[in-house]
Structure 1
Amino acid sequence: MDVSFVCSGEEPFKMEVGFFDTVEDIKRKLQSCRGWPAAAMFLVHNGNVLAEAGGDGGSGTERYGIVEGSVIHVVLDGRLQNKKEEKSKRRGEGSPTLRVTVVSRCGAGRVEVAVGARAAVSALRAELERARGEDGFPLPRDGAYFFIHRQNVMDEARSFEWHGVATGDEVVVFDGSVTRAPAC
């Protein structure tokens, strides 16, 4: 059966879930499809947190009344996300500062930037847009560029910490865009 999944900051999507799938099965499917760590997920359906296996009558979708067209909310890191906490995380407040070197393949440019380890990579885009105005850092005018760290495309919704970026690392800016495979 197709079930819709909603996660804060992500586009809702549908995924096939079996009637007898356990909560662990669903988390493994989400981890495989989205890359979210299963251990860091809480699943919520109709206001109830879906419990993992226990001795109280099973933990399959049938126990929770999940049917075709149901909506399951995914909460990452086990936090109920209040707005203030979420904004602070996006800006990387309270996280260690990393100094990274950004190299542009859109022209000859190199700049050292300070970013929060837990800040989303999208914060780097904003910082580089400022550097373009101040220092003339070369970026494509249409905003179509992406970041590479250690030969991996960086997801701008994820943190530098998630990507394994450390102080002194190099992040490379490439002209163009990246397309992703369709959601599972």
Structure 2
Amino acid sequence: MDVTFVCSSSGEAPFKMEVGFFDTVLDIKHKLQGRNGWPAAALSLFHDGGALVDDDAAGAGVTERYGVVEGSVIHVALDGAGDGDDRRPRQKGKKNGTRRPGKGMRAPAPEPLRVTVVSRCGAGRVEVAVRARGAVSALRRELEGGASSGSGFPLPADGGYFFIHGQSVMDEARSFEWHGVAAGDEVVVFEGSVTRAPAC
């Protein structure tokens, strides 16, 4: 997947580079070293306000661990070589000199994404808060949890239904962000199932 890299301290224009789904933070730093000559050990990477930590022991790639997807922007900071020069990028919109979280710090959790779930025939309509980077399958669990308590959304009894957003079937293993769902969007519940043609 193509990811845009921005390094304001180097004076270089933003550029795109291929990042693999399973690439770790250290893998990306080594790719940047090979492409730009920046020492991997002197790089700090930031995405969505949070620092990407070199923890290969976790065994997860940046997509799974940090939500980096096609078209994401990663900010690169060239750490000063002991000269006290902190070149980490400033957080957009901040005028008071505060900086993005440093190494080991966690960014605040993003606000939940509020979507409206509608049944195909209009028998049900409910607003649900979901995580933008959470899998669509979480919506199924949320709706079925409400239905089992008797206060929920009208669902087919056999569990045979799927979700549609913007005239496209939603893959429940993918995130809402991947499907382009924005706050206030409608997700429609259709009764039935989706089958895919076998690969040739």
Q: What TM-score results when the alignment is normalised by the length of structure 1?
A: 0.51
Q: Give the Cα–Cα distance (whole angstroms) in 1 for the partners of residues 142 and 168 of structure 2.
A: 21
Q: Secondary structure at the match of 2:141?
A: helix
Q: Give the Cα–Cα distance (whole angstroms) in 2 for the partners of residues 146 and 112 of structure 1.
A: 17
- Name the counterpart of 1:98: 113
Aligned length: 114
CA contact (8 A) 1:118 1:161 kept: yes
Q: Any stretches of 5+ residues in structure 1 without a counterpart? A: 1-26, 28-37, 55-78
Cα distance, 1:86–1:167 mapped onto 2, change above 3 Å: same
Which one of 57, 60, 71 corresponds to residue 81 of structure 1? 60
CA contact (8 A) 1:106 1:140 kept: no
Q: Which is greater in Rg?
A: 2
Letter in 1 for 2:129: A
Q: What is the root-mean-square deviation of aligned Cα atoms in Å?
A: 3.6
Q: Any stretches of 5+ residues in structure 2 without a counterpart? A: 2-16, 35-57, 68-107
Q: Secondary structure at the match of 1:167?
A: coil
- Name the counterpart of 1:111: 126
CA contact (8 A) 2:22 2:60 kept: no
CA contact (8 A) 1:107 1:138 kept: no
Letter in 1 for 2:178: W
Which one of 20, 24, 30 corresponds to residue 41 of structure 1? 20
CA contact (8 A) 1:106 1:173 kept: no
For 1:12-161, list aligned pairs within 5 A.
Answer: 39-41=18-20, 80-81=59-60, 94-105=109-120, 108-132=123-147, 133-161=149-177
The higher-RCO structure (CA 8 Å, 6+ apart) is: 1
Q: Deviations over 1:85-144 (max 9, x none)?
A: 95997xxx9444110000012660000000000000000000000221342411011111
Q: Secondary structure at the match of 2:134?
A: coil
Letter in 2 for 1:125: R
